[in-house]
Amino acid sequence: MVSPPLIYVLLMLAFPMGAIILFSFWTQEFMTLDTTFTLANYREIWEKPIFAALLQRSLFVSGCVTLVTVILAFPVAYFVSFHVAPERKSLWLFLITIPFWTSYLIRVFLWKVILGYNGVVNTGLIKIGLIDEPLTFILYNVNAVIITLAHAFAPFAILPIFVALEKIDRSLLEASQDLGESKFTTFFRVTLPLAMPGVVAAVLIVFIPTIGDYVTPELMGGAGGKLVANMIQTQFLALNNAPLGAALAIVAMICVTAISLLFVFLNRRWLRGRS
């Protein structure tokens, strides 16, 4: 007997996955698909520097987005957990989801309006006389991609950190102070270590989807801000080279898996001793 969930998983996950893996070992000869098994695509990715460079840039951008997002999310989660009255907490969490009320695409376009050449930031700064001509390093490059993605993923980072902070028994903080630590050192000796599972979860939740994101780099990245996902799209559609695109997707996936496993391993270490 095959159960419905298994059929569902096979159809929705395993089948497309298998197709991509299969494609990556084939080659495209102009209009025809050559189905002889070959490692030619992987060899091409290994040998042409453009692919390594794109992958490297993708990892760098995702790393920066993750770092910025988690660092900005932690104080928000901390504030809601420790300084908001219990009956108001759900309201605050609700407010944090407000950005999701509009579509991702519209939020990306809004950032274009904010960061653009004649955008809110530049006209504002010129008006108050801080700058003479518009800043150009905030749109159509890697910085713009990082800003947009960090904003888009902030709630995803806030929630797991909030949950981890909520789970901390407050008497542990009192115990730390009772044993001689100040509120400041208590944060580093008790609060932060106990919040680490939430931080690691936030890192994974932000890092994994951003590395494959292609809408934001497409719209905000300009020529120098394109990432590996854009290249995969180009291979599949514009260049009609699905096998190379598939191989590229597999390589990107292997990178993400390796880095995620590292974090899962770190999380295990932090979870040591927690029931």
Query: For binding to other proteins (CB under 8 A), which residues are involved?
Result: 169, 171-172, 174-182, 189-190, 193-194, 270, 272-275
Q: Return phi, psi of residue 37, to 5°.
A: -65, 125
**Cβ nearer to other proteins, comparing 168 with 253:** 168
Rounded to a whole number of angstroms, the minimum distance from the CB of residue 273 to other proteins is 4
Q: Which residues contact 60 (CB under 8 A, 6 or more apart)?
A: 142
**Cβ nearer to other proteins, comparing 129 with 180:** 180
**Cβ nearer to other proteins, comparing 190 with 231:** 190
Burial of 102 (0-12, 13-18, 19+ CB in 10 A): exposed
Mark 258-272 as b/e (b = at least 16 C-beta within 10 Å).
ebeeebeeebeebee
Rounded to a whole number of angstroms, the minimum distance from the CB of residue 174 to other proteins is 6
Rounded to a whole number of angstroms, the minimum distance from the CB of residue 171 to other proteins is 4
Cα–Cα distance measured from residue 21 to residue 243, given in angstroms and rounded to the nearest whole number: 9
Which amino acid is residue 4, in one-letter code? Answer: P
* Residue 242, both tokens: 């699905």
Cα–Cα distance measured from residue 235 to residue 230, given in angstroms and rounded to the nearest whole number: 9
Which amino acid is residue 243, in one-letter code? Answer: P
Rounded to a whole number of angstroms, the minimum distance from the CB of residue 259 to other proteins is 24
Rounded to a whole number of angstroms, the minimum distance from the CB of residue 207 to other proteins is 24
**Cβ nearer to other proteins, comparing 34 with 174:** 174
**Cβ nearer to other proteins, comparing 127 with 272:** 272
**Cβ nearer to other proteins, comparing 93 with 163:** 163
Rounded to a whole number of angstroms, the minimum distance from the CB of residue 169 to other proteins is 6
Give strand ranges (E) for 122-211: none
Q: Are 200 and 160 in contact (CB under 8 A)?
A: no
**Cβ nearer to other proteins, comparing 75 with 193:** 193
Q: Based on C-alpha coordinates, what's the Rg of the chain? A: 23
Q: Is the dihedral of CA 240, 243, 245, 246 positive or negative?
A: positive
Rounded to a whole number of angstroms, the minimum distance from the CB of residue 168 to other proteins is 9
